[in-house]
Amino acid sequence: MKEIAIKVPIESPSRVDVYRMFDKISTRYDLLNRVLSLGMDLYWRRVAIRELDNEKHLRVLDLACGTGDIAMAAAKATTRRQVIGIDRAEQMLALAYSKVSRGLLSNQILLACGDGMNIPVADGSMDAATIAFGIRNMPDTSLCLGEMKRTLRTNGKLIVLEFSLPKNRILRSLHLFYLRRILPVIGRWLSGDNYAYSYLNKTIETYPHGAQFVELMQKAGFTDVQCRPLTLGIVSLYTGIKN
């Protein structure tokens, strides 16, 4: 199998201390997600959560949980789930705590500050792991995948939701125009941060997606790896099994 370099490309922004950037925009993060995705981010998360088994009592790790959308969606779907949400951005976690409390989900969701390069969860203790729009921001993709695999039990499931680029040339060109010309302007206007949304479009353009990311998961030791493009390919849903 061809070797894929996991190092961040030269033209791609540094991931060092990126969590500080998310803390700066935390109070408007949910609004920005709704506006910039035209509300589609809620649909993408629902699709990801459907990959979890509703009939079993599951312990779910939600890495890079942000303000808690995935963790809350997983918990709301069935009371059979216990979710651990991990994020390094403390201000994002503070908002997640508030949302979880208002949603009366504190008995199902535990939130903690932690690093995706060294997840503070015991080996083999999780039935499933999710990460939505977060793995692209990790300093080392392979290490993060390996850490999530470590936390999973045998036959545990990994679910990754991440931005990608459409295969169709016309759609890709239109999407790149949106990422480069429109998204940064709206992002700056709503968040007041000049860097955050130029960072976003650059990481989307330079991060492995589709078959490349499937190979990264396989190299990390996951089997039955699947990739499902969503919304014309601007987002991809990846799943894999630890065995």
Render pLDDT for 72-129 as a digit per residue (tens, 0 to 9): 999 999 998 999 999 999 999 999 999 999 999 999 999 999 999 999 999 999 999 9
Let me know if residue 123 belongs to a domain: yes
- Band (15; pLDDT cuts 50, 70, 90): confident
Let me know if residue 139 belongs to a domain: yes
- Tokens 């890495």 appear where? 63
- Cα 227 from Cα 196, distance rounded (Å): 27
In the chain, DSSP finds a helix count (H) and a strand count (E) of: 10, 7
Let me know if residue 3 belongs to a domain: no
- Tokens 């629902």 appear where? 46
Supply the range of the domain harboring residue 107: 18-164+206-242
Let me know if residue 5 belongs to a domain: no
Let me know if residue 182 belongs to a domain: no
Beta strands, E only, the chain: 58-63, 81-87, 109-113, 126-132, 152-163, 222-230, 235-242
163: β partners: 235
Instruction: Look up the pTM and report it.
Output: 0.92
CATH number at residue 84: 3.40.50.150
Let me know if residue 25 belongs to a domain: yes
Nearest in space to 239 (alpha carbons), one of 221, 228, 218, 225: 225
Nearest in space to 125 (alpha carbons), one of 147, 98, 103: 147
Let me know if residue 2 belongs to a domain: no
Query: What pLDDT is recorded for position 4?
Result: 36
Nearest in space to 67 (alpha carbons), one of 89, 43, 52: 89
Domains held by the chain: number: 1
